[in-house]
């Protein structure tokens, strides 16, 4: 199994936007993203703090993406 890349919230949002997700609202430091098929996920953006591997896997499951999709 491929190792999850180390990403900050800002970097992950940039990647998800390139995959068709849009920021629909922001509540505090949490950005809520949605795509055209109504998949929704929440990304925490705490300065340049790295998102933990468990949370990253959960976000990818919500978005129906794989770790390999982040490297493209």
Task: Write down all domains in the chain, each with its CATH number in brackets.
Answer: 9-70 (3.30.920.30)
Pick from 3-7, 43-47, 50-54: least confident: 3-7
Which one-letter DSSP state was computed for residue 68?
A: G
pLDDT confidence bin for 1, thresholds 50/70/90: low
Among 26, 27, 28, 33, smallest CA distance to 12 is for: 33
Q: Is the pTM of this model over 0.75?
A: yes
CA–CA distances in Å: residue 22 to residues 4, 8, 35, 60, 70 = 23, 17, 6, 15, 16
Comparing CA positions, the residue from 61, 72, 49, 68 lying closest to residue 3 is 68
């Amino acid at each position: 199994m491929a190792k999850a890349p180390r990403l900050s919230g800002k970097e992950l949002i940039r990647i998800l936007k390139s995959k068709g997700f849009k920021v629909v609202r922001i509540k505090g430091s949490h950005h809520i993203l949605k795509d055209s098929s109504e998949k929704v996920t929440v990304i925490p953006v705490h300065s340049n703090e790295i998102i933990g591997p468990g949370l990253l896997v959960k976000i990818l499951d919500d978005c129906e993406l794989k770790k390999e999709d982040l490297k493209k």
